[in-house]
């Protein structure tokens, strides 16, 4: 199997934030805002998967499997990220 080595990120590239294991709900809004601003200040565009804040219940603190898979598939299908 051939290795796939992606190109390095360049200023202006888009970074998609997804949460495949736990909901971003566990982070404070201030932490998310700081992280987004830091990436943007480095020259990147930042987007979020539409399900990153979903949580099916408080015990697991994660979205449904189908929501998390959907975010992963959309991120890989998007030519901008």
- 14-77 belongs to which CATH class? alpha beta
- Residue 13 is predicted with a pLDDT of 95
Secondary structure tally for the chain: helices H, strands E: 2, 2
Give me the pLDDT at residue 80, please.
80
Alpha carbons within 13 angstroms on the beta-carbon side of residue 58 total: 0
Position 65 confidence tier, pLDDT thresholds 50, 70, 90: confident
* Weakest-pLDDT range from 25-34, 36-45, 48-57: 48-57
Mean pLDDT computed over every residue of the chain: 90
Give the pLDDT band of residue 62 (cuts 50, 70, 90).
Answer: confident
Q: Are 22 and 59 in contact (CB under 8 A)?
A: no
Domain residue limits, the chain: 14-77
């Amino acid at each position: 199997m051939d290795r796939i080595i992606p190109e390095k990120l360049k200023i202006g590239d888009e970074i998609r934030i997804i949460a495949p294991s736990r909901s971003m709900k566990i982070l404070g809004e201030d932490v998310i805002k700081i992280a987004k601003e830091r990436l943007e200040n480095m020259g990147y565009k930042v987007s979020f998967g539409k399900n990153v804040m979903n949580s099916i219940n408080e015990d697991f603190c994660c979205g449904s499997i189908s929501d998390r898979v959907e975010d992963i598939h959309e991120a890989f299908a998007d030519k901008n990220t």
